[in-house]
């Protein structure tokens, strides 16, 4: 007696297996795009923060050249919106000066800009100016 040969079923993927694999691939792509967007925003923020810090540092160097009377005159004039030229014009920079004690003033420079995501960002540079010269400064960003 001759036995009939059993045939194997054709090896193939089912529709459910294909759909599950597609969902997994889609989740991977969506996650990668989200990470890429976050990276681009972070890079934009870092570049703008560095540039804003350089603008404020440059303004601070200009203030170093002034004497006590000139600093007092700037304080008497009130807070000033600094006019920035060139690439720095994308920043709004405000200078404010206040008296801490008789021989000490606090100078605050605040730069504001809009990032690639449209959000407003701020960096601040605070320094103390003594009657006999400029002291240390502190820089913060938000």
DSSP string, 95-111: EEEEEEETTEEEEEEEE
Helices (H) and strands (E) in the chain, counts: 2, 5
44-50-56-62 Cα dihedral, nearest 10 degrees: -140
Task: Please tell me the predicted confidence (pLDDT) of residue 101.
Answer: 87
Task: Please tell me the predicted confidence (pLDDT) of residue 28.
Answer: 95
Give the number of residues written for the chain.
142
Say how many CA atoms lie within 13 Å of 134 toward its Cβ: 15
What is the pLDDT of the chain when averaged over all its residues?
Answer: 86
Task: Please tell me the predicted confidence (pLDDT) of residue 10.
Answer: 64
Burial readout 61-92 (b: 16 or more C-beta within 10 A, e: otherwise): eebeeeeeeebeebbeeeeeebebeeebeebb
Task: Please tell me the predicted confidence (pLDDT) of residue 116.
Answer: 85
pTM: predicted TM-score of the whole model, two decimal places? 0.72
Q: What is the pLDDT of residues 65-106, one digit of tens each?
A: 888 899 999 999 988 888 776 666 788 899 999 999 888 999
Confidence of residue 30 (pLDDT cuts 50, 70, 90): very high
Neighbours of 12 (CB within 10 A): 7
């Amino acid at each position: 007696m001759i036995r009939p040969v059993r045939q194997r079923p054709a090896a193939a993927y089912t529709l459910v297996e294909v759909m599950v694999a597609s969902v997994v691939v889609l989740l991977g792509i969506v996650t990668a795009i989200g990470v890429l967007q976050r990276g681009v925003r972070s890079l934009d923020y870092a570049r703008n923060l560095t540039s804003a810090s350089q603008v404020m540092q440059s303004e601070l160097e200009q203030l170093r050249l002034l004497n006590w009377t000139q600093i007092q005159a700037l304080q008497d004039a009130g807070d000033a919106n600094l006019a920035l030229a060139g690439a720095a014009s994308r920043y709004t920079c405000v200078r404010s000066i206040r008296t801490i004690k008789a021989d000490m003033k606090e100078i605050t420079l605040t730069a504001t800009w809009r990032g690639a995501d449209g959000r407003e960002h701020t960096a601040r540079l605070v320094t103390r100016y003594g009657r006999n010269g400029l002291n240390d400064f502190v820089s913060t960003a938000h």
